[in-house]
Structure 1
Amino acid sequence: MERQPAPTRPPRRRARTGLVSSIVMVLLVGVLSGCGVRLETPPPTEPVPDALEQVRRTAVADALGVAELATTAQRADGLAEPVIAELARVAADAHAHADALGGEYDSGLGLVDPDLDLPPSPSAVPAADPADVVSALSDAAGRSRTAASTTSSGDLARLIASVGAAQSVSAARLATLADVPAPPAVVPQMPVPGAASEEPAPTASPTDVATTSPGGEVPVLPSGLTASDFRALVLAEDGARYALEVRAARTSGDERARLLALSRVHGDRAQAWAELGSVAGTAQDPRRVAYVLPRDVDDAALVRTVQTGLATDYATLVGTTAPSTRALVVELLVEAAHTLDAWGAAPATFPGLPEQAAG
């Protein structure tokens, strides 16, 4: 019988190849896991900004938008040198505002929040003129006042209130120099003594972002003022009244009329604070018969000294009073900044914030 050849074994190359592939995949997954990479990880997204971050970003965007317009407007035809110089100052102040507010947010992801209105790039900014800058400053100042009045952070409110005061002053200055319509003045209205406590304070959702300009609100007594705050305000305003009255008695003509008009404003305000703080006519009323006055200063310098102190006082109270009730102290800061400008003070980048000026 013829011998048959032994049967051959089936090839195992396929199985061996499959085993090698499995080992490679296991090793690859192990390496990727060790590097912190997960194949199923979704692409990164920008974090959702909270209410405070939205307020901050809006203020930064406003400042950078003003800077861009002011820089572009300097190239407009036929501008006088004082207007060009003022536009350059406005642009520099706006950049300082943006820096103090923390600058543009950058997560490092290279993504852009689609809900945030950022200023256009320089190449996209159309031709502008001083009237455009005045309008942008006025709009930004209104949003700053509202944000400062309502945001939950006292420190951020104080900074934004100062920025808004500077923007308001710049709008008025540029409008005068360029002979274009000026925005309406901010006129603080004191609450009516005895009725302020009956007036409900406006409320705001913690997720709301205030972006509309103030106007037409019923005056509300700031919540959070202490008895010491009331006495300090009465003393500061009455001291201003006295200093201006004494100086007015030593001059004449239009200067005398200006000093007397300003002294009456501060006298009325001192009385209102005394009544609102329930110290008028009591042993706790801090008003004095006379105050020590600075010597060897002219009328304008005296007014500037008085207003600088008031601006600092009101900026401080912006940071310590409650959200949605601080509109009055915000507006009093703005008014003090305008009075400083009217009496010859150099424009302050951060009115009421001496630490910024010192830095």
Structure 2
Amino acid sequence: MERQPAPTRRRRRPRAHAALVAALLVGVLAGCGVRLETPPPAEPVPDALEQVRRTAVADALGVADLATSAQQAEGLPEPVSAELARVAADAHAHVDALGGQYESGIDPDDDADLDPSPEASEPEPPATPAEVVGTLSDAAARNRTAATTTSGGDLARLIASIGASQAVSATRLAALAAVPGPDPVVPTMPAPGTTTQTPAASPTPSPVATTPPGGEQSVLPAGLTASDFRALVLAEDGARYALEVRAARTSGDDRARLLARSRAHGERAQAWAELGSIADTAQDPRRVAYAIPRADDDPTLVRTLETGLGTSFATLVGTTAPMTRGLLVDLLVESALTLDAWGAPPLAFPGLPEQLP
């Protein structure tokens, strides 16, 4: 706040002169259409989009505060402390990307300054990693719902990415601190041969099911174009092929993991083809073989494929209709968790390449 100059001291004028000045002031204000009893300006009422934004900001600030507090605990293992520091830094990055805290510019009442100072209270103990995990999980769940329902596509895309980041952070911190973590998000696409639906203008039931934290039934994202369906089918089937070929050259647990992920992508490719009514038609883009991304090891290949898919899911969150994006949001979260499981450095904004440092 800028420092205001000290008021200059004025001489006391005669009472009659002061009364005349007051009368003239009333006349001027009345002539200008300003009434002396006009109430002070009030805080504007936020619209729905602003409420969503403010809630996401408040959640991110809460995460940052708790993570910072938890770092003050004595005897904290170094990996846990480092993860808490990263969580706090990402939370501040989320606040900045969301536009920061709202400030109206209206000065708050100064009545609180007139009250006597409260007695000093005992400092609160540091937060625990378990509390940070819980706050991250709650924030991720709220952001999932907001991304699914909000009318703003750009805001939905950003909040979906932030929610995915928070889900990854909650999972990582829980593992490091040996405390219960969040429930996994496991999207489930329709089985081959299931009756499909085309995208509708309003939310309608579909054969797409998902098992998010709330366990609610998902709907087919409305607004997907024929080109979107072909791109999804091609990306999922290409990932299937690349992981299947890689698994043939691997053994042990890594081979089993690669095959499991390959099957998941193959099933989703078939489901997207059916949902887009292009399965086994001339529009079906699936091929016998694909070019495989160059990768020196299994984790690098998985991370390359999942990064591309996550970017596609985040993009479609921003272009599909509200109330129908739940499946895409879940796929983005699951892709981010898969990246973490295969050793990728955690990102503050999964699926948003423009936010990369």
Contact 2:183 2:213 in 1 (8 A): no
How much does 1:191 deviate?
4.8
Q: Which segment drifts farther, 247-256 or 17-26?
A: 17-26
C-alpha distance in 2, partners of 1:321/1:225?
Answer: 6
Once the two structures are superposed, residues 68-123 of structure 1 have per-residue CA deviations (whole angstroms, 9 ceiling, x without a partner) of 000000111221100000000000000100111111110011349xxxxxxxxxx9
Of 49, 52, 58, the match for 1:52: 49
RMSD: 2.6
Q: What letter corresponds to residue 224 of structure 2 in structure 1?
A: L
How much does 1:28 deviate?
1.8
C-alpha distance in 1, partners of 2:16/2:272?
Answer: 87
Q: 2:167 corresponds to which residue?
A: 168
Contact 1:146 1:214 in 2 (8 A): no
Is structure 2 residue 266 aligned with structure 1 residue 267? yes
Q: 2:9 corresponds to which residue?
A: none
Q: 2:88 corresponds to which residue?
A: 91
Contact 2:314 2:328 in 1 (8 A): yes
Q: 1:201 corresponds to which residue?
A: 203
Q: Please state whether the residue corresponding to 1:320 is helix, strand or coil.
A: coil
Q: 1:183 corresponds to which residue?
A: 182
C-alpha distance in 1, partners of 2:290/2:239?
Answer: 9
Is structure 2 residue 142 aligned with structure 1 residue 143? yes
C-alpha distance in 1, partners of 2:276/2:213?
Answer: 25
Q: What letter corresponds to residue 63 of structure 1 in structure 2?
A: A
Once the two structures are superposed, residues 298-329 of structure 1 have per-residue CA deviations (whole angstroms, 9 ceiling, x without a partner) of 11100000000000000000000000000000
C-alpha distance in 2, partners of 1:198/1:152?
Answer: 17
Identical-pair percentage:
72
Q: 2:132 corresponds to which residue?
A: 133
Contact 2:153 2:320 in 1 (8 A): yes
Is structure 2 residue 242 aligned with structure 1 residue 223? no
Contact 1:73 1:127 in 2 (8 A): yes
Once the two structures are superposed, residues 171-199 of structure 1 have per-residue CA deviations (whole angstroms, 9 ceiling, x without a partner) of 00000000001111011132564255699
C-alpha distance in 2, partners of 1:356/1:219?
Answer: 28
C-alpha distance in 2, partners of 1:344/1:103?
Answer: 31
Q: What letter corresponds to residue 77 of structure 1 in structure 2?
A: E
Q: What letter corresponds to residue 299 of structure 1 in structure 2?
A: D
Once the two structures are superposed, residues 19-73 of structure 1 have per-residue CA deviations (whole angstroms, 9 ceiling, x without a partner) of 9777534422355579996412102211111111111000000000000000000
Contact 1:244 1:303 in 2 (8 A): yes
Is structure 2 residue 326 aligned with structure 1 residue 327? yes
Unaligned 5+ runs, structure 1: 1-16, 113-122, 204-212
Unaligned 5+ runs, structure 2: 1-13, 110-121, 206-211
C-alpha distance in 1, partners of 2:226/2:164?
Answer: 27
Q: Please state whether the residue corresponding to 2:186 is helix, strand or coil.
A: coil
C-alpha distance in 1, partners of 2:74/2:204?
Answer: 47
- Where do residues 295-310 of structure 1 align in structure 2 (5 Å cutoff)? 295-310=294-309
- Normalised by the length of structure 2, the TM-score is 0.84
Q: 1:340 corresponds to which residue?
A: 339
Q: Please state whether the residue corresponding to 1:317 is helix, strand or coil.
A: helix
C-alpha distance in 1, partners of 2:294/2:199?
Answer: 44
Contact 1:303 1:340 in 2 (8 A): yes
Contact 2:237 2:269 in 1 (8 A): yes
Indicate the structure (1 or 2) with the bigger Cα radius of gyration. 1
- Where do residues 37-76 of structure 1 align in structure 2 (5 Å cutoff)? 38-76=35-73
Q: 1:198 to 1:292 in 2, by over 3 A?
A: closer
Contact 2:237 2:266 in 1 (8 A): yes
C-alpha distance in 1, partners of 2:132/2:330?
Answer: 22
Contact 2:221 2:320 in 1 (8 A): yes
Q: Which segment drifts farther, 25-34 or 225-234?
A: 25-34
C-alpha distance in 2, partners of 1:37/1:285?
Answer: 69
Q: Which segment drifts farther, 293-302 or 335-344?
A: 293-302
Contact 2:247 2:255 in 1 (8 A): yes
Q: What letter corresponds to residue 108 of structure 1 in structure 2?
A: G
Following TM superposition, the consecutive aligned residue runs of length 4 or more in structure 1 with deviations greater than 2 angstroms are 17-27, 29-38, 123-127, 189-193, 195-203, 294-297
C-alpha distance in 2, partners of 1:150/1:243?
Answer: 35
Q: Which segment drifts farther, 280-289 or 296-305?
A: 296-305
Q: Please state whether the residue corresponding to 1:188 is helix, strand or coil.
A: strand
Q: 2:98 corresponds to which residue?
A: 101
C-alpha distance in 1, partners of 2:106/2:42?
Answer: 8
Q: What letter corresponds to residue 129 of structure 1 in structure 2?
A: T
Q: Which segment drifts farther, 20-29 or 47-56?
A: 20-29
C-alpha distance in 2, partners of 1:18/1:251?
Answer: 98
Q: 1:233 corresponds to which residue?
A: 232
Q: What letter corresponds to residue 297 of structure 2 in structure 1?
A: D
Q: Which segment drifts farther, 223-232 or 46-55?
A: 46-55
Q: Please state whether the residue corresponding to 2:59 is helix, strand or coil.
A: helix
- Normalised by the length of structure 1, the TM-score is 0.84
